[in-house]
Structure 1
Amino acid sequence: MTWYSFGLLVVLLTGACTNKEESKVNGIEFKANDSEFEILETNDLFINYLEQVDTTEDAKELYDKEIIQPIYDSCFKDGENIHMVEDFLTHPPDDLMLLKSNVDAYDSTRMFKNIKQSLTKSSEYLQGDKKTTVCILPTINKEDPDGFNVGSGKNLIYTHLFDSDQGIQTIIAHEYHHSVWTEKFSSSFSGTVLDNLVFEGKATLFEEIVMGTVSVDWSYNKALWGTIEGDLFKKDLDRTLDILNGNDEIPYRYGYSEGYKIVKSYLEEYPDTSIEEWTKLDAMTIFEKGKYVEKFYQ
């Protein structure tokens, strides 16, 4: 269901540092706004992997042993969207130069600081009942997303050489919203293109609430809308991904912008709706009561 997307000081204020020796994964656990959080980093695992991969005949076996098994329970197990990361779980990196560049550039203090800050601020507006875990992964392949929600309480963030502090925090806020929604409200999801537009639109709006800014395309292109309108109520994963992320005919991240504007349109009609209330609402209610087509495409 989720395609991409997306505490103040590392341990000094509200968190306690833990080193998971049994799995060789470094991380911190902390509490904020009556919520529990865990941040895990995998960089040392990938350093070990890179040191050995050229000397082994079975990279897949090494990858499973050194990378997947130490983090599987915390980052993937029982995730509602785990099927969407099957390629990561089963295929070793194919671009070792890219992987090494991101591993070498990794800044642990900076990543922990930004993720903790974003989680703390995000939980001021919306809380889940489960502990939220964020697993930090180096970019392995050029097509890797910025972030991914594996399911309730399980989020991934991929490090890139061009990451900014604001970018890191924005991705975390986006995936945090997905995580809470999946935990509390996913029963209303039927899997249509519209469901996914609104799903991403909610998380994008939440970015704006947490970060104070958002990057969307505010144009209302009637001809472009006409190319997707007939697909809104279909359950078609490939078409959904094309609309969300763009292709030769659809602009980059078109579905994120359109989904955001659909949710904003609803809130213009019902401005007193709380964050938890509009997070809970099903996509059809938001779409129809927000009068989106009536306002902009008729």
Structure 2
Amino acid sequence: MKQIIKLLIILLSVIFTLACSNDTIQIKGGIDQVSVQSTYNFSYNGQEIEIIYFFEEMLNYTKLKSENPTLDNEDTFTKAVLMPFQDKSSIDYYNLEDFLKPTNKLNQLEENTNELLENAKKISRWIEEAIVESIEILPGGDTTFYVFPIIPDDWFAIMNMKGVSGASFFGNKVILMLDPSFEEEMLKYAVAHEYNHTVHMSHNGTQGISTILDRIITEGKADNFAKTLYPAMTVPWTVQLSENEETAILEKLNKIHDSTNYEDYDDFLYDNSTIAIPMWADYKIGYKITESFINKNPNTPIPEWTKMDAKELVKKSDYSNLLE
């Protein structure tokens, strides 16, 4: 699972200010009649949080293609969805082909988007609750969430990631992709995960995700953080490794942990025909190493280990021999 890097925190005695004037949802029946306030803003502990929905843009895309089947699918998607997104986010949509792409399942996408639209107030509330809980234990900066429906073709995210996918970008920007099948706890877990990424990336910059080890530990930090807030949440990328799997992963990682070559990272994850490296190997070993550090250093505050250099964290875990 490749992602661009994915989320939240501090004291209880601070002012919580909620700006809910953009909270109104109106559905008037029919795709061309749907009207929704597309942004939701609130602040907590001095952090400004903005949630921007792109449900209307997706519905505009499905409407244009349904009414004009001869239109080029990719071009229509770019003009209806990607360009408005770039205008609001300053994120270059050319880097988003793994997340935002057109589909031929237009009716299903329209149905899914309308269902998400009907639940936008609930989605905003759950994201807000996750952010507030995160800020209580990990202060960060002003953060923007961009929320899209998952396209129906993305069965992997729908089936294996419980209908929630996310990615974090520099500048405290997060993309969330949702299928109507998602559940509250999974959304909150994903929000916390991505928020931890934004704090880590804001503090460490590109150097914090430059090597294979950096990226692996970054994911381990995010999942341990999310698990701290939502301990009952079980996700497949933190499932316990077998002894053989862990040995195979560590042997390969020992040789390439300093590499900054994305091809080495891909080989580590996907060229596993002769070794017992499982799916989500990077997430699983990153989670295990970070968990080991936390257990060995229980007095280290969450903000400190979130911002800690990957090698320093590994050296203070039970996996220090990985660097030898």
Per-residue deviation, 1:113:
1.6
Listed one character per residue, the Cα deviations across residues 21-74 of structure 1 (whole Å, up to 9, x for unaligned) are xxx861111011221101111112211211111315233443233212322243
- 8 Å contact from structure 1 (residues 40, 134) kept in 2: yes
Note if 1:71 corresponds to 2:85: yes
Number of the residue aligned with 1:9 = none
Listed one character per residue, the Cα deviations across residues 254-278 of structure 1 (whole Å, up to 9, x for unaligned) are 2112111211222233222111111
Cα pair distance change 1:88/1:190, threshold 3 Å: closer
Alignment equivalent of 1:18, drawn from 19, 22, 32: 22
- Equivalent residue runs for 1:146-225 within 5 Å: 146-189=165-208, 191-213=210-232, 215=234, 216-219=238-241, 220=243, 221-225=246-250
Residue aligned with 1:235, SS: coil
Per-residue deviation, 1:244:
6.0
- Equivalent residue runs for 1:1-298 within 5 Å: 2-3=3-4, 14-18=18-22, 26-54=38-66, 55=68, 57-75=71-89, 77=90, 84-86=95-97, 88=99, 91-106=101-116, 107-129=119-141, 131-140=142-151, 141-142=153-154, 146-189=165-208, 191-213=210-232, 215=234, 216-219=238-241, 220=243, 221-241=246-266, 243=268, 249-294=276-321
- The TM-score with structure 1 as length reference comes to 0.81
Unaligned runs of 5+ in 2: 8-15, 25-35, 158-163
Per-residue deviation, 1:239:
4.0
Listed one character per residue, the Cα deviations across residues 221-277 of structure 1 (whole Å, up to 9, x for unaligned) are 324432443222222324435656896653222211211121122223322211111
Per-residue deviation, 1:88:
5.0
Cα pair distance change 1:239/1:114, threshold 3 Å: farther
Per-residue deviation, 1:218:
2.9
Listed one character per residue, the Cα deviations across residues 146-173 of structure 1 (whole Å, up to 9, x for unaligned) are 1111222210111113211100111110
Amino acid at match of 1:152: G
Per-residue deviation, 1:101:
4.2
Residue aligned with 2:48, SS: strand
Percent identity over paired residues: 24
Cα pair distance change 1:152/1:243, threshold 3 Å: farther
Alpha-carbon distance in 1 for matches of 2:71, 2:309: 50
Cα pair distance change 1:19/1:115, threshold 3 Å: closer
Per-residue deviation, 1:83:
6.4
Alpha-carbon distance in 1 for matches of 2:271, 2:147: 26
Residue aligned with 1:18, SS: coil
Residue aligned with 1:252, SS: coil
Alpha-carbon distance in 2 for matches of 1:230, 1:52: 51
Per-residue deviation, 1:199:
0.6
- 8 Å contact from structure 2 (residues 146, 176) kept in 1: yes
Amino acid at match of 1:186: G
Unaligned runs of 5+ in 1: 7-11
Per-residue deviation, 1:19:
7.8
Cα pair distance change 1:87/1:269, threshold 3 Å: closer
- 8 Å contact from structure 1 (residues 135, 156) kept in 2: yes
Cα pair distance change 1:59/1:83, threshold 3 Å: closer
Residue aligned with 1:147, SS: strand
Residue aligned with 1:189, SS: helix
Amino acid at match of 2:20: A
Residue aligned with 1:29, SS: strand
Cα pair distance change 1:167/1:251, threshold 3 Å: same
- The TM-score with structure 2 as length reference comes to 0.76
Alpha-carbon distance in 1 for matches of 2:269, 2:296: 25
